Amino acid sequence: MSKKLINQKTNFDSEFLNSTGSDFIFDENPINRLKNTSNDLKKDLNIQKIDKVKELMDLKEQINSISDCNLKNNSKKMVLGDGNINSPIMIIGEAPGVEEDNSGLTFMGEVGDLLKKMLIAINIEKQNIYTTYAVNFRPPEDRKPNSTEIKRYSQFVQKHISIINPKIIILMGSTAMESLTGLNSKISIERGKWKEVIVKNTNYNVIITFNPSYLLRAPENKKYSWDDLKKIKQRIFELKLSI
């Protein structure tokens, strides 16, 4: 080490000792500066959470302000999303059904029960992640949203993703797949493949899988869904995510 660097280090050490004082070094109960840092971190996280809540409320107003929408005109409630807004996992389903339309919440009834079982299989509680839909209003008679409707709501899906800012996005069903990726192919072809999607200059890990409502109608495909869940669990491990 050069003499100049030694002098710089000595000066820094001296300034640090002078700023802390001898009481900090020799006190039987020294100041826990790590505790202060932890408190600052908690404060920052709380501020971020408040910001997210505000952004989500703004998004809700934007979606509710839609006019001339057949989906909105034939539904009871707008379903934005629910769960942990700071979760690294975000699930995007297809569209609300009858029970979701009545409650204003995502993945209710049998569909919700199956989703909970799927998540528990990879050690995740539903309340610890964030869930939403590709379209926020129930389609008449639970029909599949058409491409025009999907495209119209995709702008809100992208805003939603930017607000939650997850590490992993799980697209459940063809409507969710088309909304975010633009793909029109069959789920059976695209499922289980990790993709990278860019939303507002940010890259997101995305995987496509079957929607729980479809699995209730076609339980023989649950084995493929299990394969997808194992891939999700592996990616969570690789990214060292805490859920």
How is the chain split among helix, strand and coil, in percent rounded to 5?
A: 55, 15, 30
What average pLDDT does the chain have?
Answer: 88
Cα–Cα distance between 230 and 168 in angstroms, integer?
14
Contacts of 164 (CB under 8 A, 6+ apart): 52, 85, 87, 90, 130
| Mean pLDDT, residues 63-84 | 96
User: Which strands form 202-209's sheet, in the order they lie side by side?
Assistant: 81-83, 130-133, 89-93, 168-172, 202-209, 194-199
Condensed to tens digits (0 to 9), the pLDDT of residues 13-38 reads 444 444 444 444 344 555 554 555 55
- Give Rg (Cα) of the chain: 24
- Length, in residues, of the chain: 243
With a pLDDT cut of 90, the percent of the chain lying above it is 79
The pLDDT, as a whole number, for residue 48 is 72
- Tell me the mean pLDDT in the region 43-56: 80
Span 65-92, mean pLDDT?
97
Q: What would the pLDDT profile of 148-187 be if each residue is shown by its tens digit?
A: 999 999 999 999 999 999 999 999 999 999 999 999 999 9
- The pLDDT of residue 6 is 44
Spell out the domains of the chain, with CATH numbers in brackets: 33-238 (3.40.470.10)
pLDDT at 40: 60
Q: What distance in Å separates the CA atoms of residue 36 and residue 42, rounded to the nearest whole number?
A: 10
How many helices and strands (H and E) does the chain possess?
Answer: 11, 6
